[in-house]
Amino acid sequence: MRLLSARYARMLFALAASSTLPVFQALGQQTYVGRYDLYAGYSYLNSPHISLAENGFGLQAGVRVVSWMTIGFDYSRTSGNTTITPDLLTPALQTQLGGELQQLIAGGVIPASYTLAVPISSVTQTFAGGPQFSYHGWSHGTFFVRPALGDIHEAATPHANPADPVAQGIVAQLVPSGIKKDDVLFYGFGGGVDINVTQHFALRIQADFVHDHLFSDLLKDSRNTVRIGIGPAFQFGKNVMK
């Protein structure tokens, strides 16, 4: 009985394979893969550890050295808002600010229930370059993966409440110029899919997951950041499949 069941299972598998083969043959692999690749679209950057969500745009350009590998450049610019609280700062700064606030409470300048919170606006730019590896075995879509390595630049502007002179004084103490800028390396990985609309045009959906530690002199923790992008992609030039 067990033998009959195994033989029956093999027959069903063979039947299913033979019935689906024409479907995959109909889909087939892509016959045209252009030498050059361009992308421009919407970009969403999220750093959940500091509750920072930013919106903007991204640009990509690349040259396919072989059908399955592209060497290119990636740029994005996003902006958004969050609020910085003392628990996000380095231990040394927490101790310093805690002592200052205790003195102000003892002097009756602020109530014991006072909570320090400073809203900030942020503009983030990313610059990356390197290889991207693609699979062209499906005519309707191109799947790709890539390492993510590059530079992230962030400019943060604090906006202390004008009615809160304590917060204004602390901001002036920590960010005397009124704006804080930093550049650090990030690393991670990414990937996505190009949904092919025509031979030269596709809708690209992609995501990158990276790690960085911006403003290490102020913020105690590094952060994990996700970037999601969607937009039109174009390929043109010599067919590298031939």
CATH code of the domain in which 210 resides:
2.40.160.20
Please indicate, yes or no, if residue 1 is contained in any of the structural domains.
Answer: no
The answer to the question of residue 153 being in a domain is yes
What integer pLDDT is reported at residue 22 of this predicted model? Answer: 47
- The series of mean pLDDT values per 10 residues for the chain, 242 residues long, is 42 43 58 97 97 98 97 98 97 95 94 95 97 95 97 97 94 96 97 97 98 97 97 97 81
Give pTM, 2 decimals.
0.85
pLDDT of the residue at 28: 77
Number of domains comprising the chain: 1
Residue 26 lies in a domain: no
Report d(CA 194, CA 231) in Å as an integer: 10
11 falls within a domain: no
> Residue 90 domain-assigned?
yes
Q: Which domain holds residue 116?
A: 31-239
**Residue 120: CB atoms within 10 Å:** 20
Q: Distance between CA 111 and CA 231 in Å, rounded?
A: 51
Predicted local distance difference test score (pLDDT) of residue 27: 56
Instruction: Provide the residue type at 116 as one letter.
Output: L
Asked whether residue 10 is domain-assigned, the answer is no
Q: Is residue 103 situated within a structural domain?
A: yes
Distances (CA, A) of 89 to 71, 177, 225: 39, 19, 18
**Is residue 19 domain-resident?**
no
